[in-house]
């Protein structure tokens, strides 16, 4: 712990983003400032991820003069495809001034509230307060999320300073079944909650005033369940890049320290630290870029104790302005903190600390192309080999939820099992933007899993398909629709047998109307196919997804 504090002090002040309102992307026709998603669950900043390299698999291409037709734009890695979300509500960013308030309601006791309130907003500094409330009270499922955040930014000449604090509380019930032991029991009154909060800060160099790029951040986060494992983490990060002619020499260092306490035993898992170091060198050409580096993540204690080396080599080249080939050989070490795991699957046994994930090798190759203006095509193949990859399996628990051990024995939850696993993925996608009035998107993924001892990669899909359309009908009306499919999923039951899960077929519709420059109304209908019992699915085996539901509301800008 002492060594951890020294490194934290070395990197100064903190940060990463606070939970704020979503910022608009200019690559969509609606230029939306607010995106409302079905089953929206905000997450705290994930700085505990030990991935010291600040540049991911597709770094920026050095800008070069435009020497080709204006009808074809140069392909930039930053113009990428993102999985279409469930029936989003789109609000024109031009109609928002400084802040907004949003309120909505619908079936299953679904209530949504958002507020972004600028307190100080001038060229030198900004201070904003934001909150988010989302609820669901169905016949079986109960879920309530409350979020608050405060974010301050000061723009110094050589660098920017960001300071923030956040609080999040999530309450839910264990309404599912494990399929065997609890197939006919009901546990909808067995309730748990998580409280997640912290403070953070960051300094970031201003590229216009310094040739040397640098950043430093630190974060404290406390994760406290109603019943389960209490986790505290301190995370520090530092990065510096020095120009060498047109190239860049850099190093990133990331330190995460974790301490645990269990509400039942008084002590939890061993406290430990993870130190990540990533030296790298970027070589820039006119139409290509090569990133050469090495990742080393060291865990200091417990089941995670080990030294983890990973390659960090990526490259991309524009064969012609509209075609880019990219690829790389990398790896990843991911800290599976309580905060991260419970955000992913809230029905996990609450006193389980999942072993960190280690992928020593990840090889990928892909091609992007813009045959004509507005169309982006992307195809890639990827191979990963992971040590001790975790998979969710059904279990029952009678110890973590102490008050329910008498009335609610064998509460259905999820455990994890580990195996050495290999995954090969083929990904094909397309995105077409027609005159900023219509966007069509589709993506298909095939996953091939090979596990060393397990019969299946439990609850992982073998095939995914998504498509959607985003239509600007007029200056005031926006419509959207999307569809998502996932198939080939298997679950392992308590007796060790496997069962094939229902395919996910999810169709969603949404619309918004901008009545004036300060008022926008919206409506959305989610999981329309859920009206039919044959199309009702489960994301986690034993826990039914929300059926067909609707929501209406309004957003106010000020």
Q: What local confidence, expressed as pLDDT, does residue 400 receive?
A: 53
Q: Are 241 and 210 in contact (CB under 8 A)?
A: no
Among residues 350, 347, 399, 434, the alpha carbon closest in space to that of 141 is found at 347
Among residues 538, 557, 426, 445, the alpha carbon closest in space to that of 101 is found at 557
Q: What local confidence, expressed as pLDDT, does residue 209 receive?
A: 79
- Four-point Cα dihedral 505, 506, 507, 512, nearest 10: -170
The secondary structure of 348-410, three-state, reads ECCCCCCCCEEEEEEEEEEEEECCCCCEEEEEEEEEEEEEEEEEEEEEEECCCCHHHCCCCCC
How many CA atoms within 13 Å lie on the side-chain side of 324? 27
Can you spell out the DSSP letters for 234-249?
Answer: EEEEEEEEEEETTEEE
Q: What local confidence, expressed as pLDDT, does residue 87 receive?
A: 37
- Four-point Cα dihedral 398, 399, 401, 407, nearest 10: 40
Q: Is 184 left (phi over 0), alpha (psi -120 to 50) or beta?
A: alpha
At residue 403, what are phi and psi to the nearest 5 degrees? -65, -15
Helix (H) or strand (E) holding 137: strand 125-137
Q: Are 463 and 445 in contact (CB under 8 A)?
A: yes
Q: Are 143 and 136 in contact (CB under 8 A)?
A: yes
* pLDDT, mean of each 10-residue run, the chain (558 residues): 39 33 32 33 30 28 27 32 36 57 89 92 93 89 94 92 96 86 74 94 88 94 90 96 94 94 63 93 95 93 78 95 96 93 92 92 97 94 96 81 53 93 97 90 97 96 96 91 96 91 95 89 92 92 91 90
Helices (H), 410-496: none
Can you spell out the DSSP letters for 473-494?
Answer: -SSSEEEEEEEEEEE--EEE-T
User: What does the alpha-carbon distance between residue 552 and residue 110 come to, in Å, rounded to a whole number?
Assistant: 10
Among residues 520, 539, 505, the alpha carbon closest in space to that of 114 is found at 520
User: What does the alpha-carbon distance between residue 20 and residue 151 come to, in Å, rounded to a whole number?
Assistant: 8
User: What does the alpha-carbon distance between residue 183 and residue 189 come to, in Å, rounded to a whole number?
Assistant: 16
Q: What local confidence, expressed as pLDDT, does residue 409 receive?
A: 66
Q: Are 221 and 165 in contact (CB under 8 A)?
A: no
SS3 194: strand
Q: What domains lie within the chain, and their CATH numbers?
A: 2-557 (2.40.170.20)
Among residues 82, 136, 126, 103, the alpha carbon closest in space to that of 34 is found at 103
């Amino acid at each position: 712990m002492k060594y951890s504090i020294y490194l934290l002090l070395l990197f100064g002040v903190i940060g990463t983003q606070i939970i704020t309102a979503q910022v608009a992307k200019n690559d969509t026709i609606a230029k939306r400032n607010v995106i409302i998603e079905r089953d929206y669950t905000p997450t705290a900043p994930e700085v505990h991820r030990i991935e010291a390299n600040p540049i991911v698999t597709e770094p920026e291409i050095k800008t070069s003069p435009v020497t080709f037709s204006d009808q074809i734009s140069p392909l930039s890695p930053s113009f990428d495809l993102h999985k279409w979300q469930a029936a989003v509500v789109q609000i024109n960013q031009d109609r928002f001034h400084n802040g907004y308030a949003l309120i909505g309601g619908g079936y299953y006791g679904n209530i949504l509230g958002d507020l972004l309130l600028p307190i100080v907003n001038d060229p030198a500094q900004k201070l904003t307060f934001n909150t988010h409330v989302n609820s669901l009270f169905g016949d079986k499922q109960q879920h309530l999320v409350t979020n608050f955040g405060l974010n301050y930014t000061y723009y110094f000449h050589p660098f920017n300073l960001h300071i923030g604090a956040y609080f999040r509380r999530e309450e839910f019930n264990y309404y599912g079944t494990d399929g065997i032991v609890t197939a006919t029991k009901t546990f909808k009154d067995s309730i748990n909650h998580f409280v997640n909060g912290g403070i953070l800060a960051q300094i970031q160099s201003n590229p216009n005033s310094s040739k040397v790029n640098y950043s430093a951040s630190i974060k404290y986060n406390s994760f406290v369940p109603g019943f389960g494992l209490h986790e505290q983490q301190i995370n520090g990060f530092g990065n510096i890049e020095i120009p060498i002619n047109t190239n860049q020499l850099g190093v990133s260092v990331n330190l995460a320290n974790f301490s645990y306490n269990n509400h039942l035993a008084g002590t939890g898992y061993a406290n430990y630290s993870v130190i990540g170091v990533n030296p790298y060198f970027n070589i820039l050409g006119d139409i290509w870029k090569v990133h050469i580096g090495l990742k080393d993540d060291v865990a200091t204690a417990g089941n995670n104790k080990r030294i983890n080396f990973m390659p960090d080599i990526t490259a991309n080249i524009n064969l012609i302005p509209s075609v880019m080939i990219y690829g790389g050989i990398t790896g990843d070490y991911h800290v599976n903190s309580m905060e991260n795991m419970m955000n992913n699957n809230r029905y996990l046994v609450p006193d389980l600390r999942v072993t960190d994930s280690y992928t020593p090798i990840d090889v990928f190759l892909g091609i992007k192309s813009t045959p004509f203006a507005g169309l982006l095509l992307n195809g890639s193949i990827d191979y990963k080999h992971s040590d001790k990859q975790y998979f969710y399996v059904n279990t029952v628990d009678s110890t973590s939820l102490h008050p329910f051990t008498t009335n609610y024995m064998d509460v259905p939850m999820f455990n994890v099992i580990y195996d050495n696993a290999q995954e090969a993925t083929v990904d094909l996608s397309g995105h077409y933007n027609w005159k900023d009035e219509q966007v069509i998107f589709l993506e298909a993924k095939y996953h091939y899993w090979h596990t060393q001892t397990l019969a299946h990669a439990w609850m992982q899909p073998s095939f995914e398909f998504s498509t959607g359309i985003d239509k600007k009908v007029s200056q005031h009306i926006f419509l959207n629709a999307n569809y998502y499919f996932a198939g080939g999923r298997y679950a392992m039951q308590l007796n060790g047998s496997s069962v094939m899960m229902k395919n996910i077929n999810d169709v969603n519709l949404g619309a918004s109307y901008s009545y004036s420059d300060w008022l926008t109304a919206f409506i959305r209908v989610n999981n329309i196919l859920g009206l039919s019992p044959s199309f009702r699915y489960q994301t986690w085996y034993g826990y039914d997804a929300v059926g067909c539901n609707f929501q209406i509301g309004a957003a106010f800008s000020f």
